[in-house]
Copies of this chain bind each other. A is one copy, B any other.
Amino acid sequence: MTAFSNRIPYMREAADVVRILFESLSDPGTISFGGGAPAKEMLPVDEVAAITKDILTKEAQGYPMLQYGNPMGFPALRQAVVEHLLVPGGLPAKYENIIISSGGMEGVSLAGHLYLDPGDVVLVESPTFVQSLETFQFFQANIVAVETDDHGFVIEALEDNIKKHHPKLIYVIPTFQNPSGRTTTLERRKAIAELASRYDVMVLEDDPYFELRYSGQALPPVKSFDKTGHVMYANSFSKIFAPGCRLGYVYAEKEIVDRMYDVKTALNSMTTVLPQVICAEFFNRGLYPGQLKRNRAVHCERRDAMMNSLSAHMPEGVTWVYPDGGLFTWAQLPGGLSSTDLLPEIMAAGVTYLPGRQFFAEGQPILDNCMRLSFGQMPPEVIDQGIQKMAKVIKSKLR
């Protein structure tokens, strides 16, 4: 075989995990707490069908939605992001500051393309999203994990690491974090924006769970405290519309999204047009508020089911995060148990989850007794069955 480029060997290990993650999504026989998908029952199938029927005619928008589109995104969808998502969420965004991405992950990789050369330092939460770690590895970045507690980055540790490593990028998932379910406090959000300005470091704020809040008070994004253009705000339509449409967006300085346009044309020309037109129409027909309300209700019920089931069945010493929204909790096992070693036995009992070690950067402190549990995909009664099965195996190891 002809030798691959230098970036390829960097990324192999994480990619294997992601592969398992995606494949676990499609096995109907198991109780999956593994993948990060939202409830399939909440996907707007009927709405998408009705919209598509109306607009996919030659007379309406049939031609443009099957023809090449604009690499910045479909204009009506960029406008919908501003009107229906960002401005109501407290961000004074303008149309020219929005680029549509092919899913939330492309927002992360576009930021990487713009700012990362091999060896550049990226500061991440510990733990953080496994697929973003894979993306930063792809850029041959030097990933440095920063101490994180129940309220997000420990700000003193973040500043120390900025001074020590002169990072190019700070990566933060401030709201119902993946994998931990934790939320960064208001004060720390302000502090992150302030540190970025003071030390001239870019922040990538990845906020795909922002809209999925079930309890507690909404917090403004880090981006809302950004006075110097150092924060790129990335979000996704996967949790509020449909993951399979692969739509997301980045809100940042015009100079930044304009360069993202250049990168997109070099990598894939543009985001798929048909789903953008359908999604824009979903917002413009006023379907989003009702859908979001039902979406939150369904996921809240599943969050509660998992919290109640963990309390009822897990042996003493097991702890977990109470998430105010999103799709995940983060459980910690006692007695030196390894969630990696336990996985085969729990899978044999018909349940999957993601071992915590996958969410830590290589060469950094790893908590192998942790696991990410997703409550998005299973109905409440199945969640209860799954947690009972897991608890039985864990108890047997603690005897």
Contact = CB atoms under 8 A, between A and B. Distances in A.
Contacts of A106: 267-269
A271 interface: yes
Given A64-B244, A244-B67, A268-B105, A45 B49 contact: no
Interface stretch (A15-23, A85-93, A367-375, A378-386): A15-23
A63 to B, nearest CB: 5
Contacts of A262: 8, 11-12, 15, 134
Interface stretch (A114-122, A186-194, A332-340): A114-122
6 contacts: A5-B117, A5-B120, A45-B56, A52-B56, A67-B243, A138-B263
A230 B3 CA distance: 11
A265 interface: yes
Interface string A148-186: 000000000000000000001000000000000000000
Q: Work out how many copies of this chain go into the complex.
A: 2
Contact of A245 (B102, B255, B274): B274
B103 A261 contact: no
Contact of A268 (B18, B117, B246, B259): B246
Please tell me the size bucket of the interface on A. Answer: 35 or more
Interface of A: 1-2, 4-8, 11-12, 15, 18-19, 22-23, 25-26, 35, 37, 40, 43-46, 48-49, 52-53, 56-58, 62-71, 101-103, 105-106, 109, 113-117, 120, 131, 134-135, 137-138, 168, 200-202, 229-230, 238, 242-246, 253, 255, 259, 261-263, 265-275
A372 to B, nearest CB: 16
Contact of A266 (B53, B58, B68, B109): B109
B43 A49 contact: no
